[in-house]
Amino acid sequence: MSRIGKQRIEVPANVKVAVQARTVRVEGPKGKLEWAHRPEVSVAVDEAGRTVTVTRDGDDRLSRALHGTTRALIANMVEGCLNGYSRRLEIYGVGYGVQVQGRRVMLTVGYAHPRAFEIPAGTEVTVTAPQARGESEPARFTVSGPDKQAVGELAARLRKARPPEPYKGKGVRYADEHVRRKAGKAFAGAGGV
């Protein structure tokens, strides 16, 4: 039995969970999410006890793998609809910055033109400090929303526009990310060839 899969998911009072056929719908103060689970597992909602239980139909390898995964994904949906998820990012570099224009994020990260990224439905990008004011002061922004996967995917795409380089640390990084710095090229003293 899966250690994660056999745990019940507690549903808070202000979150609704419904299962119809293979579609799980979760609705809460931060938004609505729906997801279709695989046929190898079954999802049951206990309205009286305010819990969700995931069981697997077989004992083959795929069913065992999907048991814990399905439970974790539904628990993430409940948490996302209750509190939401967010990922804070920082941009280091002189002249680097971030802007939100409608449903697009514009990153100025040292290329000839700003990089534009579409913001998926249900996800928000909030800018706290739009322009990097020097090497030590980063531009800061936050990606947030109820869907953990969508938030993480958008944050990863924004970071990939200019990953932090190891010599000066310039680029887009997560707020809690540590960039391992390298020493620059060492030049010979006086009189070298």
* Six-digit token string for 46: 């206990």
Q: Which residue has the higher pLDDT, 193 or 6?
A: 6
What pLDDT does 57 receive? 87
Task: Please choose, from the candidates 90, 49, 47, 52, the residue with its C-alpha nearest in 3D space to the C-alpha of residue 177.
Answer: 90
Does the structure show a pLDDT above 70 at 188?
no
* pLDDT band, very low/low/confident/very high, at 49 (cuts 50, 70, 90): confident
Tell me the per-residue pLDDT of 64-93, one tens digit each, with 9 for 90 and over: 999 999 999 999 999 999 999 999 999 999
- The pTM score is 0.88
Contact call for residues 52 and 8 (beta carbons, < 8 A): yes
If phi > 0 it is left, if psi is from -120 to 50 it is alpha, else beta; for residue 110 that is left
Tell me the per-residue pLDDT of 119-138, one tens digit each, with 9 for 90 and over: 999 999 999 987 876 667 89
Strand-strand pairing, 31-36 and 23-28: antiparallel
Task: Please choose, from the candidates 149, 161, 84, the residue with its C-alpha nearest in 3D space to the C-alpha of residue 120.
Answer: 149
DSSP character at residue 84? -
Does the structure show a pLDDT above 60 at 163?
yes
DSSP codes of every residue in 41-67: EEEEEETTTTEEEEEES--SHHHHHHH
Domains of the chain: residue spans and CATH: 9-82 (3.90.930.12), 85-174 (3.90.930.12)
Does the structure show a pLDDT above 90 at 48?
no
Q: HEC profile for 124-186?
A: EEEEEECECCCCCCCEEEEEEECCHHHHHHHHHHHHHCCCCCCCCCCEEEECCCCCCCCCCCC
Does the structure show a pLDDT above 80 at 107?
yes
